[in-house]
Structure 1
Amino acid sequence: MEPRVPGLSSGSTVFISAGASGIGLTMAKRFLAQGCLVHVCDINEQGVADFIASHPNASGDVVDVSDYQRVKTMFEGIAAQFGHLDVLINNAGIAGPTAAVEDMDPNEWDKTIAIDLNSIFYVTKEATPLMKARGGAMINIASNAALFGFPLRGPYTAAKWAILGLTKTWAMELGVNKIRVNAICPGSVNGPRIEGVIERDAAGRGMTTDEIRTVYQRQSSMRLFVEADDIANTALFLASDMGKSISGQTIAVDGHTEGLSNFLEP
Protein backbone atom coordinates (compact mmCIF):
# COMPACT_ATOMS: atom_id res chain seq x y z
CA MET A 1 0.00 0.00 0.00
CA GLU A 2 1.20 3.50 -0.84
CA PRO A 3 2.43 5.32 2.29
CA ARG A 4 0.28 8.37 3.00
CA VAL A 5 1.86 11.79 2.74
CA PRO A 6 0.38 14.72 4.68
CA GLY A 7 -1.64 17.31 2.84
CA LEU A 8 -2.85 15.10 -0.01
CA SER A 9 -6.27 13.50 0.14
CA SER A 10 -9.39 12.61 -1.80
CA GLY A 11 -10.15 16.31 -1.99
CA SER A 12 -6.84 17.19 -3.65
CA THR A 13 -7.02 17.92 -7.38
CA VAL A 14 -3.98 17.32 -9.59
CA PHE A 15 -3.26 18.15 -13.22
CA ILE A 16 -0.35 16.54 -15.09
CA SER A 17 0.55 17.31 -18.69
CA ALA A 18 1.85 14.37 -20.74
CA GLY A 19 0.42 12.25 -17.94
CA ALA A 20 -0.57 9.15 -19.89
CA SER A 21 2.91 7.68 -20.39
CA GLY A 22 6.43 7.64 -19.00
CA ILE A 23 7.26 9.80 -15.98
CA GLY A 24 3.89 11.53 -16.20
CA LEU A 25 1.94 8.31 -15.91
CA THR A 26 4.09 7.14 -12.99
CA MET A 27 3.39 10.41 -11.17
CA ALA A 28 -0.32 10.20 -11.98
CA LYS A 29 -0.59 6.70 -10.53
CA ARG A 30 1.22 7.73 -7.36
CA PHE A 31 -1.11 10.69 -6.80
CA LEU A 32 -4.12 8.47 -7.45
CA ALA A 33 -2.79 6.10 -4.79
CA GLN A 34 -2.92 9.02 -2.34
CA GLY A 35 -6.64 9.40 -3.05
CA CYS A 36 -6.25 12.49 -5.23
CA LEU A 37 -8.43 13.39 -8.20
CA VAL A 38 -6.01 13.33 -11.13
CA HIS A 39 -6.60 14.86 -14.55
CA VAL A 40 -4.05 14.28 -17.29
CA CYS A 41 -3.65 15.46 -20.82
CA ASP A 42 -1.62 13.78 -23.52
CA ILE A 43 -1.47 13.49 -27.30
CA ASN A 44 -1.69 9.70 -26.92
CA GLU A 45 -5.41 9.04 -27.32
CA GLN A 46 -5.22 5.38 -26.30
CA GLY A 47 -3.01 6.23 -23.34
CA VAL A 48 -5.54 8.78 -22.08
CA ALA A 49 -8.40 6.32 -22.54
CA ASP A 50 -6.51 3.62 -20.65
CA PHE A 51 -5.71 6.04 -17.83
CA ILE A 52 -9.32 7.16 -17.45
CA ALA A 53 -10.42 3.53 -17.31
CA SER A 54 -7.80 2.67 -14.70
CA HIS A 55 -9.32 4.40 -11.67
CA PRO A 56 -12.57 6.15 -10.66
CA ASN A 57 -10.61 9.29 -9.70
CA ALA A 58 -8.82 9.49 -13.07
CA SER A 59 -9.87 11.82 -15.89
CA GLY A 60 -8.17 13.28 -18.92
CA ASP A 61 -8.13 15.06 -22.26
CA VAL A 62 -6.37 14.42 -25.55
CA VAL A 63 -4.65 17.76 -26.08
CA ASP A 64 -1.54 19.10 -27.78
CA VAL A 65 -0.33 21.54 -25.12
CA SER A 66 1.63 23.56 -27.70
CA ASP A 67 -1.78 24.76 -29.00
CA TYR A 68 -2.93 27.58 -26.71
CA GLN A 69 -6.59 27.54 -27.75
CA ARG A 70 -6.87 23.82 -27.00
CA VAL A 71 -5.20 24.35 -23.63
CA LYS A 72 -7.60 27.18 -22.84
CA THR A 73 -10.62 25.06 -23.74
CA MET A 74 -9.30 22.16 -21.67
CA PHE A 75 -8.96 24.31 -18.56
CA GLU A 76 -12.46 25.66 -19.00
CA GLY A 77 -13.55 22.04 -18.67
CA ILE A 78 -11.28 21.45 -15.67
CA ALA A 79 -12.72 24.54 -13.97
CA ALA A 80 -16.23 23.16 -14.49
CA GLN A 81 -15.17 19.71 -13.28
CA PHE A 82 -13.16 20.61 -10.17
CA GLY A 83 -13.70 24.30 -9.47
CA HIS A 84 -10.14 24.54 -8.18
CA LEU A 85 -6.70 22.99 -8.64
CA ASP A 86 -4.24 22.06 -5.90
CA VAL A 87 -1.30 20.63 -7.83
CA LEU A 88 -0.06 21.47 -11.31
CA ILE A 89 2.73 19.42 -12.88
CA ASN A 90 4.15 20.69 -16.16
CA ASN A 91 5.63 17.52 -17.56
CA ALA A 92 5.16 17.72 -21.34
CA GLY A 93 8.30 17.73 -23.43
CA ILE A 94 10.19 16.11 -26.27
CA ALA A 95 13.88 15.33 -26.72
CA GLY A 96 14.13 17.44 -29.86
CA PRO A 97 16.75 17.06 -32.59
CA THR A 98 20.36 15.99 -32.13
CA ALA A 99 22.44 18.29 -34.35
CA ALA A 100 25.18 20.89 -34.29
CA VAL A 101 24.02 24.48 -34.46
CA GLU A 102 24.93 24.90 -38.15
CA ASP A 103 23.01 21.73 -39.02
CA MET A 104 19.93 22.44 -36.91
CA ASP A 105 16.63 22.46 -38.80
CA PRO A 106 14.79 25.67 -37.80
CA ASN A 107 11.47 23.84 -37.97
CA GLU A 108 12.74 21.26 -35.46
CA TRP A 109 13.98 24.10 -33.25
CA ASP A 110 10.55 25.76 -33.32
CA LYS A 111 8.74 22.49 -32.61
CA THR A 112 10.92 21.74 -29.59
CA ILE A 113 10.53 25.22 -28.13
CA ALA A 114 6.76 25.09 -28.71
CA ILE A 115 6.33 21.83 -26.82
CA ASP A 116 9.06 22.12 -24.18
CA LEU A 117 8.64 25.81 -23.29
CA ASN A 118 5.60 27.53 -24.77
CA SER A 119 3.29 24.80 -23.46
CA ILE A 120 4.42 25.43 -19.89
CA PHE A 121 3.44 29.08 -20.21
CA TYR A 122 0.06 28.17 -21.75
CA VAL A 123 -0.79 25.59 -19.09
CA THR A 124 0.39 27.73 -16.18
CA LYS A 125 -1.46 30.79 -17.46
CA GLU A 126 -4.74 28.88 -17.51
CA ALA A 127 -4.15 26.89 -14.31
CA THR A 128 -3.14 29.80 -12.09
CA PRO A 129 -6.64 31.27 -11.57
CA LEU A 130 -7.80 27.83 -10.36
CA MET A 131 -5.05 27.74 -7.74
CA LYS A 132 -5.14 31.26 -6.34
CA ALA A 133 -8.14 30.81 -4.04
CA ARG A 134 -6.49 28.24 -1.76
CA GLY A 135 -2.87 27.95 -2.88
CA GLY A 136 -1.03 24.83 -3.87
CA ALA A 137 2.02 23.49 -5.65
CA MET A 138 3.31 23.97 -9.19
CA ILE A 139 6.04 21.60 -10.28
CA ASN A 140 7.92 22.11 -13.52
CA ILE A 141 9.74 19.09 -14.89
CA ALA A 142 12.94 20.49 -16.33
CA SER A 143 16.13 18.45 -16.83
CA ASN A 144 19.71 18.33 -15.68
CA ALA A 145 20.34 19.85 -19.12
CA ALA A 146 19.14 23.04 -17.40
CA LEU A 147 22.27 22.95 -15.23
CA PHE A 148 24.91 22.45 -17.95
CA GLY A 149 25.59 22.98 -21.61
CA PHE A 150 24.48 19.95 -23.64
CA PRO A 151 26.30 19.52 -26.97
CA LEU A 152 24.09 18.86 -30.00
CA ARG A 153 20.87 19.40 -28.01
CA GLY A 154 20.49 23.17 -28.36
CA PRO A 155 16.69 23.67 -28.43
CA TYR A 156 16.07 21.17 -25.63
CA THR A 157 18.70 22.83 -23.46
CA ALA A 158 17.40 26.32 -24.22
CA ALA A 159 13.87 25.34 -23.18
CA LYS A 160 14.99 23.66 -19.97
CA TRP A 161 17.16 26.60 -18.89
CA ALA A 162 14.18 28.90 -19.53
CA ILE A 163 11.98 26.72 -17.33
CA LEU A 164 14.25 27.42 -14.36
CA GLY A 165 13.91 31.16 -14.95
CA LEU A 166 10.14 30.87 -15.10
CA THR A 167 10.13 28.78 -11.93
CA LYS A 168 11.94 31.52 -10.01
CA THR A 169 9.77 34.25 -11.54
CA TRP A 170 6.46 32.53 -10.88
CA ALA A 171 7.51 31.66 -7.33
CA MET A 172 7.97 35.40 -6.76
CA GLU A 173 4.69 36.32 -8.47
CA LEU A 174 2.53 33.71 -6.78
CA GLY A 175 4.02 33.33 -3.32
CA VAL A 176 1.57 35.84 -1.90
CA ASN A 177 -1.20 33.48 -3.02
CA LYS A 178 0.44 30.60 -1.12
CA ILE A 179 1.35 28.94 -4.39
CA ARG A 180 4.81 27.43 -4.29
CA VAL A 181 6.64 26.82 -7.56
CA ASN A 182 9.57 24.45 -7.92
CA ALA A 183 11.44 22.61 -10.66
CA ILE A 184 12.64 19.03 -10.76
CA CYS A 185 15.65 18.29 -12.95
CA PRO A 186 15.74 14.59 -13.76
CA GLY A 187 18.81 12.90 -15.11
CA SER A 188 18.48 10.16 -17.70
CA VAL A 189 15.43 8.13 -16.71
CA ASN A 190 15.25 4.42 -17.47
CA GLY A 191 12.67 3.79 -20.17
CA PRO A 192 11.85 3.99 -23.87
CA ARG A 193 12.58 7.70 -24.21
CA ILE A 194 16.24 7.59 -23.14
CA GLU A 195 16.71 4.42 -25.19
CA GLY A 196 15.49 6.32 -28.25
CA VAL A 197 17.95 9.14 -27.55
CA ILE A 198 20.75 6.62 -27.16
CA GLU A 199 19.87 4.92 -30.44
CA ARG A 200 19.88 8.21 -32.34
CA ASP A 201 23.14 9.30 -30.74
CA ALA A 202 24.78 5.96 -31.51
CA ALA A 203 23.68 6.11 -35.14
CA GLY A 204 25.00 9.66 -35.50
CA ARG A 205 28.39 8.78 -34.04
CA GLY A 206 28.83 5.36 -35.62
CA MET A 207 28.98 3.74 -32.17
CA THR A 208 27.03 0.96 -30.49
CA THR A 209 24.15 1.70 -28.16
CA ASP A 210 26.07 0.01 -25.32
CA GLU A 211 28.99 2.39 -25.85
CA ILE A 212 26.72 5.43 -25.80
CA ARG A 213 24.83 4.13 -22.76
CA THR A 214 28.15 3.85 -20.90
CA VAL A 215 29.02 7.43 -21.82
CA TYR A 216 25.68 8.63 -20.47
CA GLN A 217 26.02 6.67 -17.26
CA ARG A 218 29.53 8.06 -16.70
CA GLN A 219 28.00 11.53 -16.57
CA SER A 220 26.55 10.67 -13.15
CA SER A 221 28.69 10.33 -10.02
CA MET A 222 26.58 7.31 -9.11
CA ARG A 223 26.93 5.86 -12.63
CA LEU A 224 23.22 5.25 -13.01
CA PHE A 225 20.01 6.11 -14.76
CA VAL A 226 17.27 7.19 -12.37
CA GLU A 227 13.83 5.59 -12.19
CA ALA A 228 10.49 7.24 -12.90
CA ASP A 229 9.50 6.54 -9.29
CA ASP A 230 12.42 8.70 -8.12
CA ILE A 231 10.82 11.66 -9.90
CA ALA A 232 7.37 10.76 -8.58
CA ASN A 233 8.71 10.59 -5.00
CA THR A 234 10.10 14.11 -5.32
CA ALA A 235 6.88 15.43 -6.83
CA LEU A 236 4.83 13.94 -3.99
CA PHE A 237 7.17 15.55 -1.45
CA LEU A 238 6.94 18.98 -3.08
CA ALA A 239 3.15 18.76 -3.48
CA SER A 240 2.53 17.65 0.10
CA ASP A 241 2.74 19.44 3.43
CA MET A 242 6.29 18.08 3.76
CA GLY A 243 7.30 20.66 1.15
CA LYS A 244 4.99 23.45 2.31
CA SER A 245 7.80 25.99 2.80
CA ILE A 246 9.81 25.14 -0.31
CA SER A 247 9.44 27.42 -3.32
CA GLY A 248 11.56 28.82 -6.11
CA GLN A 249 13.92 25.86 -5.93
CA THR A 250 15.55 23.54 -8.44
CA ILE A 251 15.98 19.95 -7.30
CA ALA A 252 18.16 17.63 -9.35
CA VAL A 253 17.24 13.95 -9.21
CA ASP A 254 20.10 12.51 -11.21
CA GLY A 255 22.67 10.70 -9.08
CA HIS A 256 24.71 13.93 -9.20
CA THR A 257 25.47 14.78 -12.79
CA GLU A 258 29.05 15.98 -13.28
CA GLY A 259 28.56 17.24 -16.83
CA LEU A 260 26.67 16.55 -20.04
CA SER A 261 29.30 16.38 -22.74
CA ASN A 262 28.46 13.30 -24.75
CA PHE A 263 31.85 13.24 -26.45
CA LEU A 264 34.25 10.49 -25.55
CA GLU A 265 37.69 11.50 -24.40
CA PRO A 266 40.17 11.36 -27.30
Structure 2
Amino acid sequence: MNMIERLKPRPGLRVLVTAGASGIGAAIARAFLETDASVLICDIDKDVLADFAAQNSTVFTLPADVSDETQVDALLEHAAATLGGLDILVNNAGISGPTGPIDALSIDEIRKTLDIDLMGQFLVLRRAVPMLRQSGDGAIINISSVAGRLGYALRTPYSAAKWGIVGLTQSLAKEVGPDGIRVNAILPGVVRGARIENVIRARAESLGISYAEMEAQYLSLISLRRMVEPEDVAGTALFLCSPAGANISGQAISVCGNVETI
Protein backbone atom coordinates (compact mmCIF):
# COMPACT_ATOMS: atom_id res chain seq x y z
CA MET A 1 0.00 0.00 0.00
CA ASN A 2 1.49 3.34 -1.04
CA MET A 3 1.22 6.48 1.07
CA ILE A 4 -1.71 7.95 -0.85
CA GLU A 5 -3.67 4.74 -0.33
CA ARG A 6 -2.77 4.76 3.37
CA LEU A 7 -4.41 8.17 3.73
CA LYS A 8 -7.81 6.79 2.72
CA PRO A 9 -10.09 4.74 4.98
CA ARG A 10 -10.68 1.31 3.51
CA PRO A 11 -13.97 0.88 1.61
CA GLY A 12 -16.82 -0.87 3.35
CA LEU A 13 -16.32 0.49 6.85
CA ARG A 14 -19.43 0.38 9.02
CA VAL A 15 -19.83 3.83 10.54
CA LEU A 16 -22.21 5.38 13.08
CA VAL A 17 -22.33 9.18 13.38
CA THR A 18 -24.50 10.68 16.10
CA ALA A 19 -26.21 14.00 15.27
CA GLY A 20 -25.10 13.36 11.72
CA ALA A 21 -27.74 15.27 9.79
CA SER A 22 -26.32 18.80 10.02
CA GLY A 23 -23.17 20.76 10.76
CA ILE A 24 -19.99 18.87 11.62
CA GLY A 25 -21.83 15.57 11.85
CA ALA A 26 -23.23 15.90 8.33
CA ALA A 27 -19.82 16.80 6.92
CA ILE A 28 -18.32 13.71 8.56
CA ALA A 29 -21.15 11.45 7.38
CA ARG A 30 -20.83 12.73 3.80
CA ALA A 31 -17.07 12.23 3.88
CA PHE A 32 -17.41 8.59 4.93
CA LEU A 33 -20.12 8.00 2.31
CA GLU A 34 -17.66 9.25 -0.31
CA THR A 35 -15.24 6.50 0.77
CA ASP A 36 -17.94 3.85 0.10
CA ALA A 37 -18.57 3.28 3.80
CA SER A 38 -21.89 2.02 5.12
CA VAL A 39 -23.11 4.91 7.27
CA LEU A 40 -25.87 5.18 9.86
CA ILE A 41 -26.68 8.59 11.28
CA CYS A 42 -29.05 9.59 14.04
CA ASP A 43 -30.45 12.99 14.89
CA ILE A 44 -33.06 14.39 17.22
CA ASP A 45 -34.50 16.54 14.41
CA LYS A 46 -36.58 14.27 12.17
CA ASP A 47 -37.01 16.90 9.44
CA VAL A 48 -33.27 17.54 9.13
CA LEU A 49 -32.69 13.79 9.17
CA ALA A 50 -35.16 13.33 6.31
CA ASP A 51 -33.51 16.13 4.31
CA PHE A 52 -30.08 14.51 4.66
CA ALA A 53 -31.46 11.14 3.60
CA ALA A 54 -33.11 12.71 0.56
CA GLN A 55 -29.74 14.10 -0.54
CA ASN A 56 -27.73 10.97 0.33
CA SER A 57 -29.70 7.94 -0.83
CA THR A 58 -27.36 5.27 0.61
CA VAL A 59 -27.32 6.52 4.19
CA PHE A 60 -29.21 4.73 6.98
CA THR A 61 -31.06 6.94 9.47
CA LEU A 62 -32.83 6.74 12.80
CA PRO A 63 -34.23 9.53 15.00
CA ALA A 64 -32.58 9.36 18.43
CA ASP A 65 -31.81 11.48 21.48
CA VAL A 66 -28.43 10.39 22.85
CA SER A 67 -29.36 11.49 26.36
CA ASP A 68 -32.14 8.88 26.43
CA GLU A 69 -30.83 5.42 27.34
CA THR A 70 -33.74 3.59 25.71
CA GLN A 71 -33.28 5.45 22.43
CA VAL A 72 -29.53 4.83 22.47
CA ASP A 73 -30.09 1.11 23.00
CA ALA A 74 -32.48 1.11 20.01
CA LEU A 75 -29.90 3.02 17.94
CA LEU A 76 -27.15 0.45 18.51
CA GLU A 77 -29.57 -2.40 17.84
CA HIS A 78 -30.42 -0.66 14.57
CA ALA A 79 -26.71 -0.36 13.77
CA ALA A 80 -26.28 -4.10 14.25
CA ALA A 81 -29.29 -4.82 12.04
CA THR A 82 -28.54 -2.39 9.20
CA LEU A 83 -24.74 -2.32 9.14
CA GLY A 84 -24.11 -5.86 10.35
CA GLY A 85 -21.67 -4.60 12.95
CA LEU A 86 -19.60 -1.51 13.68
CA ASP A 87 -16.08 -0.39 12.77
CA ILE A 88 -16.23 3.36 13.44
CA LEU A 89 -18.14 5.42 16.00
CA VAL A 90 -18.23 9.20 15.71
CA ASN A 91 -19.66 10.52 18.98
CA ASN A 92 -20.71 13.93 17.67
CA ALA A 93 -24.04 14.82 19.32
CA GLY A 94 -23.97 17.90 21.49
CA ILE A 95 -25.59 21.26 22.23
CA SER A 96 -24.15 24.69 22.91
CA GLY A 97 -25.79 25.03 26.30
CA PRO A 98 -26.63 28.28 28.07
CA THR A 99 -24.62 31.49 28.02
CA GLY A 100 -24.35 33.56 31.17
CA PRO A 101 -22.81 33.89 34.64
CA ILE A 102 -22.90 30.66 36.62
CA ASP A 103 -25.22 32.09 39.27
CA ALA A 104 -27.74 33.02 36.56
CA LEU A 105 -27.91 29.54 34.99
CA SER A 106 -30.77 27.24 35.85
CA ILE A 107 -30.16 23.72 37.13
CA ASP A 108 -32.21 22.39 34.22
CA GLU A 109 -29.98 24.17 31.68
CA ILE A 110 -26.82 22.83 33.31
CA ARG A 111 -28.12 19.27 33.55
CA LYS A 112 -29.39 19.25 29.97
CA THR A 113 -25.98 20.33 28.66
CA LEU A 114 -24.11 17.71 30.67
CA ASP A 115 -26.67 15.00 29.85
CA ILE A 116 -26.39 15.51 26.09
CA ASP A 117 -22.76 16.58 25.67
CA LEU A 118 -21.08 14.19 28.12
CA MET A 119 -23.51 11.58 29.42
CA GLY A 120 -24.75 11.03 25.89
CA GLN A 121 -21.27 9.92 24.84
CA PHE A 122 -21.11 7.46 27.74
CA LEU A 123 -24.50 5.99 26.81
CA VAL A 124 -23.46 5.42 23.20
CA LEU A 125 -20.03 4.06 24.11
CA ARG A 126 -21.27 1.48 26.59
CA ARG A 127 -23.31 -0.14 23.80
CA ALA A 128 -20.89 0.52 20.92
CA VAL A 129 -17.66 -0.78 22.47
CA PRO A 130 -18.78 -4.45 22.53
CA MET A 131 -19.61 -4.15 18.83
CA LEU A 132 -16.30 -2.46 18.04
CA ARG A 133 -14.41 -5.26 19.79
CA GLN A 134 -15.75 -7.59 17.11
CA SER A 135 -14.33 -5.38 14.35
CA GLY A 136 -10.68 -6.18 14.94
CA ASP A 137 -9.76 -2.67 13.80
CA GLY A 138 -12.24 -0.36 15.50
CA ALA A 139 -11.96 3.38 15.98
CA ILE A 140 -13.82 5.90 18.11
CA ILE A 141 -13.82 9.64 17.54
CA ASN A 142 -15.32 11.74 20.32
CA ILE A 143 -16.10 15.29 19.29
CA SER A 144 -15.01 17.69 22.02
CA SER A 145 -14.20 21.38 21.45
CA VAL A 146 -11.43 23.90 21.84
CA ALA A 147 -13.41 24.63 25.02
CA GLY A 148 -12.12 21.23 26.14
CA ARG A 149 -8.60 22.65 26.46
CA LEU A 150 -9.34 26.29 27.31
CA GLY A 151 -11.58 27.70 30.03
CA TYR A 152 -14.65 29.45 28.62
CA ALA A 153 -16.20 32.19 30.75
CA LEU A 154 -20.02 32.40 30.56
CA ARG A 155 -20.15 28.90 28.99
CA THR A 156 -19.23 26.80 32.03
CA PRO A 157 -21.56 23.78 31.49
CA TYR A 158 -20.42 23.41 27.88
CA SER A 159 -16.74 23.75 28.70
CA ALA A 160 -16.99 21.33 31.63
CA ALA A 161 -18.61 18.72 29.40
CA LYS A 162 -16.01 19.16 26.67
CA TRP A 163 -13.13 18.83 29.15
CA GLY A 164 -14.86 15.69 30.40
CA ILE A 165 -14.84 14.26 26.88
CA VAL A 166 -11.06 14.62 26.71
CA GLY A 167 -10.69 12.74 29.99
CA LEU A 168 -13.13 10.10 28.77
CA THR A 169 -11.16 9.73 25.54
CA GLN A 170 -7.77 9.31 27.18
CA SER A 171 -9.11 6.87 29.77
CA LEU A 172 -11.03 4.77 27.26
CA ALA A 173 -8.03 4.60 24.92
CA LYS A 174 -6.12 2.82 27.69
CA GLU A 175 -9.06 0.56 28.46
CA VAL A 176 -9.80 -0.68 24.94
CA GLY A 177 -6.39 -0.34 23.30
CA PRO A 178 -5.59 -4.01 23.98
CA ASP A 179 -8.74 -4.84 21.99
CA GLY A 180 -7.31 -3.03 18.95
CA ILE A 181 -9.66 -0.05 19.31
CA ARG A 182 -8.26 3.44 18.82
CA VAL A 183 -9.93 6.32 20.68
CA ASN A 184 -9.28 9.97 19.88
CA ALA A 185 -10.98 13.30 20.44
CA ILE A 186 -11.27 16.08 17.88
CA LEU A 187 -11.47 19.60 19.32
CA PRO A 188 -13.05 21.91 16.73
CA GLY A 189 -12.67 25.65 17.12
CA VAL A 190 -14.97 28.31 15.72
CA VAL A 191 -16.74 26.26 13.04
CA ARG A 192 -18.71 28.14 10.41
CA GLY A 193 -22.44 27.44 10.59
CA ALA A 194 -25.71 28.12 12.37
CA ARG A 195 -24.52 26.92 15.77
CA ILE A 196 -21.62 29.37 16.10
CA GLU A 197 -23.86 32.17 14.85
CA ASN A 198 -26.26 31.47 17.72
CA VAL A 199 -23.37 31.29 20.20
CA ILE A 200 -21.91 34.60 19.02
CA ARG A 201 -25.34 36.24 19.14
CA ALA A 202 -26.03 35.01 22.69
CA ARG A 203 -22.60 36.08 23.93
CA ALA A 204 -22.96 39.49 22.28
CA GLU A 205 -26.29 39.99 24.02
CA SER A 206 -24.86 38.95 27.38
CA LEU A 207 -22.05 41.50 27.01
CA GLY A 208 -24.21 44.24 25.51
CA ILE A 209 -22.32 44.57 22.22
CA SER A 210 -23.22 44.02 18.55
CA TYR A 211 -22.98 40.71 16.69
CA ALA A 212 -20.29 42.15 14.38
CA GLU A 213 -18.17 43.26 17.33
CA MET A 214 -18.49 39.86 18.99
CA GLU A 215 -17.61 38.00 15.80
CA ALA A 216 -14.53 40.21 15.34
CA GLN A 217 -13.46 39.40 18.91
CA TYR A 218 -13.77 35.68 18.23
CA LEU A 219 -11.67 35.89 15.07
CA SER A 220 -9.03 38.04 16.78
CA LEU A 221 -8.33 35.17 19.21
CA ILE A 222 -7.52 32.73 16.38
CA SER A 223 -3.95 32.78 15.08
CA LEU A 224 -5.10 32.15 11.50
CA ARG A 225 -7.89 34.75 11.89
CA ARG A 226 -10.50 32.59 10.20
CA MET A 227 -13.25 30.14 11.02
CA VAL A 228 -12.91 26.40 10.58
CA GLU A 229 -15.03 24.72 7.91
CA PRO A 230 -17.01 21.57 8.86
CA GLU A 231 -15.09 19.75 6.13
CA ASP A 232 -11.82 20.46 7.97
CA VAL A 233 -13.10 18.43 10.90
CA ALA A 234 -14.37 15.71 8.57
CA GLY A 235 -10.95 15.43 6.93
CA THR A 236 -9.31 14.89 10.30
CA ALA A 237 -11.86 12.20 11.13
CA LEU A 238 -11.09 10.38 7.87
CA PHE A 239 -7.36 10.54 8.55
CA LEU A 240 -7.77 9.11 12.05
CA CYS A 241 -9.77 6.21 10.61
CA SER A 242 -7.32 5.53 7.77
CA PRO A 243 -4.31 3.17 7.79
CA ALA A 244 -2.15 6.29 8.20
CA GLY A 245 -3.81 6.85 11.59
CA ALA A 246 -3.40 3.26 12.74
CA ASN A 247 -1.13 4.16 15.66
CA ILE A 248 -2.82 7.35 16.82
CA SER A 249 -4.86 6.83 20.00
CA GLY A 250 -5.57 8.67 23.22
CA GLN A 251 -5.07 12.05 21.58
CA ALA A 252 -7.00 15.33 21.74
CA ILE A 253 -6.46 16.94 18.35
CA SER A 254 -7.46 20.57 17.86
CA VAL A 255 -8.80 21.67 14.49
CA CYS A 256 -9.14 25.33 15.27
CA GLY A 257 -6.64 27.53 13.44
CA ASN A 258 -4.88 27.76 16.83
CA VAL A 259 -7.39 29.40 19.11
CA GLU A 260 -5.17 31.22 21.59
CA THR A 261 -7.75 31.94 24.29
CA ILE A 262 -11.52 32.19 24.66
TM-score (normalised: structure 1)? 0.94
Query: Residue 83 of structure 1: CA displacement?
Result: 2.5
Question: Structure 1 residue aligned with 2:167, among 154, 161, 165?
Answer: 165
Look up the match of 2:255: 253
Secondary structure in 1 matching 2:40 = strand
Following the alignment from structure 1 to structure 2, what is the Cα–Cα distance between the partners of residues 78 and 223? 40
Deviating more after overlay: 46-55 vs 29-38: 46-55
Look up the match of 2:211: 209
Look up the match of 1:54: 55
Query: Residue 6 of structure 1: CA displacement?
Result: 3.2
Secondary structure in 2 matching 1:185 = strand
Cα RMSD (Å): 1.2
Query: Residue 56 of structure 1: CA displacement?
Result: 4.0
Instruction: Judge conservation of contact 2:8–2:239 (CA < 8 Å) in 1.
Output: no
Secondary structure in 1 matching 2:150 = coil
Q: Which amino acid aligns with 1:183?
A: A
Instruction: Judge conservation of contact 1:20–1:41 (CA < 8 Å) in 2.
Output: yes
Instruction: Judge conservation of contact 2:46–2:63 (CA < 8 Å) in 1.
Output: yes
Look up the match of 1:140: 142
Instruction: Judge conservation of contact 2:185–2:251 (CA < 8 Å) in 1.
Output: yes
Following the alignment from structure 1 to structure 2, what is the Cα–Cα distance between the partners of residues 16 and 86? 11
Instruction: Judge conservation of contact 2:9–2:35 (CA < 8 Å) in 1.
Output: no
Following the alignment from structure 1 to structure 2, what is the Cα–Cα distance between the partners of residues 49 and 187? 28
Following the alignment from structure 2 to structure 1, what is the Cα–Cα distance between the partners of residues 28 and 9? 16
Q: Deviations over 1:76-111 (max 9, x none)?
A: 121122221111001011110011111111110000
Look up the match of 2:103: 102
Query: Residue 7 of structure 1: CA displacement?
Result: 3.5
Instruction: Judge conservation of contact 1:51–1:59 (CA < 8 Å) in 2.
Output: no
Deviating more after overlay: 36-45 vs 201-210: 201-210
Instruction: Judge conservation of contact 2:189–2:228 (CA < 8 Å) in 1.
Output: yes
Aligned-pair identity (%): 44
Secondary structure in 1 matching 2:32 = helix
Q: Deviations over 1:199-258 (max 9, x none)?
A: 111122221111000111111111111110110010000011110000000100111111
2:156 maps to 1:154: yes
Query: Residue 259 of structure 1: CA displacement?
Result: 0.8
1:228-239 to structure 2, matched below 5 A, reads 228-239=230-241
Secondary structure in 1 matching 2:78 = helix
Query: Residue 162 of structure 1: CA displacement?
Result: 0.4
Q: Which amino acid aligns with 1:163?
A: I
Look up the match of 2:83: 82
Query: Residue 8 of structure 1: CA displacement?
Result: 2.2
Instruction: Judge conservation of contact 1:83–1:130 (CA < 8 Å) in 2.
Output: no
2:258 maps to 1:221: no
Q: Which amino acid aligns with 2:129?
A: T
Secondary structure in 2 matching 1:183 = strand
TM-score (normalised: structure 2)? 0.95
Following the alignment from structure 1 to structure 2, what is the Cα–Cα distance between the partners of residues 128 and 194? 31
Q: Give the unaligned 5+ runs of structure 2.
A: none
